[in-house]
Amino acid sequence: MLKIYHAKNTRSVRIVWLCEELGIPYELKTLNFSPDDLQSKAYLAVHPLGKVPSIDDDGLILNESGAIAQYLLAKHGSGRLEPKSGTADYGKYLQWFHFAEATLMVPLGNIAQHSFIRPEDKRIPQVAAEAVESAKKMLGILDKELAGKDFICGKDFTAADIMLGYSLLLCKMFGLLTGEYPNTGAYFARLAARPAFQKATA
Ligand SMILES: N[C@@H](CCC(=O)N[C@@H](CS)C(=O)NCC(=O)O)C(=O)O
């Protein structure tokens, strides 16, 4: 059975959420988000950088949340949670799917590193402050895109919403999801109400 290496409130939420939405059976391997677990010899054999998520699908080990999601959609999705491949809608879907990790997670990572992950003497307040500005700019763009829409691709929930939903969970935890972004706030509430999201974040 598919094994998902997971730690609470990390990017592995995306994979658990996707499996729940698609009804893919999985076994959860829950790790503590600490070097004791992530940098253990056993886990470094699964993910050489000691990060989550990883999956082990009958011996196929994959890291990178977006790649894992695309693999699982291709294997189990049967067209669910994605627009038809090759269409303009699919292009937009891919853009937002990857924006979530490749763009929005960059400032969020810097905020986390320079606000609470690094030891205090290694934090650079200027980096954290610039990252907040950068994340706000991105949220402004997302908010415009979401005007009049239920989900990022329109009326249908897709895997791009799962990728974005995790990034927005961090925005919420970091206090960035303010009233300045009403469409994004309502969108995140819609995502967070889904039973699959609740299971993945429990
Ligand atoms: N681009 C990777 C990033 C993976 C990543 O950085 N995961 C974080 C948790 S959200 C992690 O495990 N950090 C532990 C560390 O860097 O030591 C992905 O999307 O899977």
CA of 104 from ligand 1 middle (Å) equals: 14
pLDDT at 62: 98
Place of tokens 């409130």: 9
pLDDT digits 0-9 by tens, 65-97: 999 999 999 999 999 999 999 999 999 999 999
Nearest CA to ligand 1 atom 5: 51
Q: Residue 198 half-sphere exposure, CB side, CA atoms within 13 Å?
A: 5
The minimum-distance atom of ligand 1 relative to the CA of 68 is 20
Ligand 1 center from residue 202 Cα (angstroms): 19
Domain 88-194, CATH number (from 2.40.10.340, 1.20.1050.10, 1.10.10.10, 3.40.50.1220): 1.20.1050.10
Q: Supply the residue whose CA is at minimum distance from atom 15 of ligand 1.
A: 51
pLDDT, position 126: 97
CA of 52 to the centre of ligand 1 (A): 5
Q: Do domains 2-77 and 88-194 have the same CATH topology?
A: no
CA 12 to ligand 1 center in whole angstroms: 9
Closest listed residue to residue 77, CA positions, set 90, 88, 64: 90
pLDDT for res 1? 95
pTM of the model: 0.97
Q: What are the beta bridge partners of residue 60?
A: 57
Question: Which CATH number is 2-77 given?
Answer: 3.40.30.10
154-179 confidence digits (pLDDT tens): 999 999 999 999 999 999 999 999 99
Return the pLDDT at 15: 98
Residues contacting ligand 1 via CB (< 6 Å)? 10-11, 38, 50-53, 64-66, 101
Chain segment 109-144, per-residue pLDDT in tens: 999 999 999 999 999 999 999 999 999 999 999 999
Give 22-55 pLDDT, tens digit per residue: 999 999 999 999 999 999 999 999 999 999 999 9
pLDDT for residue 169: 98
- Residue 53 CA, closest ligand 1 atom number: 20
Q: With beta carbons less than 8 A apart as the criterion, state whether 62 and 68 touch.
A: yes
For the chain, the structural domain boundaries read 2-77, 88-194
pLDDT confidence of residue 48: 97
In order, the DSSP letters of the chain are: -EEEEE-TTSTHHHHHHHHHHHT--EEEEE--SSHHHHTSHHHHTT-TT--S-EEEETTEEEE-HHHHHHHHIIIIITTTTSPPTTSHHHHHHHHHHHIIIIIIHHHHHHHHIIIIIS-GGG--HHHHHHHHHHHHHHHHHHHHHTTT-SBTTBSS--HHHHHHHHHHHHHHHTT---TT-HHHHHHHHHHHTSHHHHHHT-
pLDDT at 198: 98
